[in-house]
Chains A and B, each alone.
Chain A
Amino acid sequence: MKFGAGKGVFSHFSDKDTRPTLSRKSSGFDQFCSILQSYENLSILDMSGASQANISFITGMGHRISSDDVIGTMVECFGKDFLANQQAASNAQRFLDKSFTFPEASFDGALVWDAFQFLTSPLIEQAINQLFRILRPGAHLLLFFSANEKASSIPVYNYRIQDRKTLLQMPRQGTTDQKSQYFNNRRIEKLFERASSMKFFLTRDHLREVIVRR
């Protein structure tokens, strides 16, 4: 069986996770790497948690990497249903207290991946504010959002860098598929209206890739 962007069969989490890992071409990540190559000794935040692949890739380019498992924090604060349980103010505040706990202006870039697509208003706006606080002016972020209007639920992935054009989407163990939110370009532009620039990338699957410049 061959894997391509957007192909694969998903099933709900069971004790033995049989969901496939997907290999995905990413123009957005390729562009992000081009930006990284233009500078030396940057500090990059990987919000997919620590992984050998991502650490080796970013440090191999001569940059520093920091890790923060934002999805893990969502699991801890929201349990099985991210969208429903973040409506409770106490859960939302717990999430904000535990996330992005780095000093102000720490990073030149962030690999947000698709973490923000599991947040809804007002929490998503608060999370973006908190993320911007720890980014330096001019920092670049790479974000993915679901672009499938018809999807009722989406899996939760960890993203692993295979090379500058290819990412592995690994279904995250210990999570179930989450209710999907649709993000069109307009909605994303509104979320990042404070940004100095934004670039969208065409993809063949139901994932919208965006590079935002703080």
Chain B
Amino acid sequence: MSSQPRSFDPDPVSPRGAGTAALGKNVTIKGQIFAREDLIIDGEVEGTVECQEHRLTIGPNARVQAGLKAREIVIHGSIQGNVDATDKIDIKKEAKLVGDIKTSRIVIEDGAYFKGSIDISKAGAKAASGASAAAPQGVPVSNTASAVANASK
């Protein structure tokens, strides 16, 4: 990850909604954070972060040493701690996550660094199993499936 702080737009399609709080790259917090709206963290946090029923976004400049809980968690930066998302976890290719994951669904981009265990809830595991059965070639891997397909033409 680049050492230069990067500007970060978590949602390039639509602007940040009215119900979204943000901690910028120059903010450092040690302690517990509770949010009742969507939250973006792009600074340093040590402690715990809870955004029940909401979306938590960890920006590319973020360095988080904390346990995280939210409905949905999107990770661009660095996390050391356990991550619990009731709905979905999305780990981007520049992310670094060391800790255990508990969620219903997980999306991880090639290039992301992850060390830890993944616990998928029963509902999420059944959905993944259904998706695998419907796609006999296996779950598509974004870059490699097209590379192999193109090479075999």
Taking CB atoms, residues of chain A closer than 8 Å to B114 are 49-50, 67
Q: Which of B109, B113, B137, B151 is the one whose CB lies under 8 Å from A3?
A: B151
Within 8 Å of chain B (Cβ to Cβ): is A66?
yes
- Cβ of B119 and Cβ of A52 under 8 Å apart? no
- Cβ of B117 and Cβ of A56 under 8 Å apart? no
- Cβ of A21 and Cβ of B152 under 8 Å apart? no
- Cβ of A56 and Cβ of B113 under 8 Å apart? no
Helix, strand, loop or mixed for chain B's interface? mixed
Q: Give the number of chain A interface residues (Cβ < 8 Å).
A: 33
- Cβ of B131 and Cβ of A51 under 8 Å apart? no
Provided the pairs A60-B132, A162-B137, A166-B138 are in contact, do residues A69 and B117 lie with their beta carbons within 8 angstroms? Answer: no
Within 8 Å of chain A (Cβ to Cβ): is B110?
yes
Q: Which of A1, A160, A163, A170 is the one whose CB lies under 8 Å from B137?
A: A163
Chain-A contact segment, one of B8-16, B65-73, B139-147: B139-147
How many Å lie between the Cα of A59 and that of B112 in the bound state?
19
- Cβ of B118 and Cβ of A168 under 8 Å apart? no
Within 8 Å of chain B (Cβ to Cβ): is A55?
yes
- Cβ of A59 and Cβ of B147 under 8 Å apart? no
- Cβ of A168 and Cβ of B144 under 8 Å apart? yes
Total A-B contacts with CB atoms under 8 angstroms apart: 91
Taking CB atoms, residues of chain A closer than 8 Å to B132 are 56-57, 60
Within 8 Å of chain A (Cβ to Cβ): is B27?
no
Taking CB atoms, residues of chain B closer than 8 Å to A166 are 138
**Which residue of B has the minimal Cβ distance to A170?**
B144
- Cβ of B108 and Cβ of A59 under 8 Å apart? no
How many Å lie between the Cα of A17 and that of B110 in the bound state?
15
The A-contacting residues of B in range 113-153, CB under 8 angstroms, are 113-120, 124-125, 128-129, 131-132, 136-139, 141-142, 144, 147-148, 151-153
Q: Which of A64, A68, A69, A160 is the one whose CB lies under 8 Å from B118?
A: A64
**Which residue of A has the minimal Cβ distance to B119?**
A64
How many Å lie between the Cα of A1 and that of B148 in the bound state?
9
Within 8 Å of chain A (Cβ to Cβ): is B107?
yes
Taking CB atoms, residues of chain B closer than 8 Å to A61 are 129
Q: Which of B106, B108, B117, B136 is the one whose CB lies under 8 Å from A163?
A: B136
- Cβ of B108 and Cβ of A72 under 8 Å apart? no
- Cβ of A50 and Cβ of B112 under 8 Å apart? yes
- Cβ of B129 and Cβ of A62 under 8 Å apart? yes
How many Å lie between the Cα of A1 and that of B110 in the bound state?
25
- Cβ of A60 and Cβ of B118 under 8 Å apart? no
Q: Give A residues with C-beta under 8 Å from B.
A: 1-3, 20-21, 23, 43, 49-53, 55-57, 59-62, 64-69, 72, 160-163, 166, 168, 170
Q: Give B residues with C-beta under 8 Å from A.
A: 91, 106-110, 112-120, 124-125, 128-129, 131-132, 136-139, 141-142, 144, 147-148, 151-153
A-B interface, 6 closest residue pairs, ranked by CB to CB distance from nearest: A50-B114, A66-B117, A162-B138, A56-B139, A60-B128, A60-B129
Pick 5 A–B contacts, CB within 8 A, sort by A. Answer: A43-B117, A52-B109, A52-B141, A56-B132, A60-B131
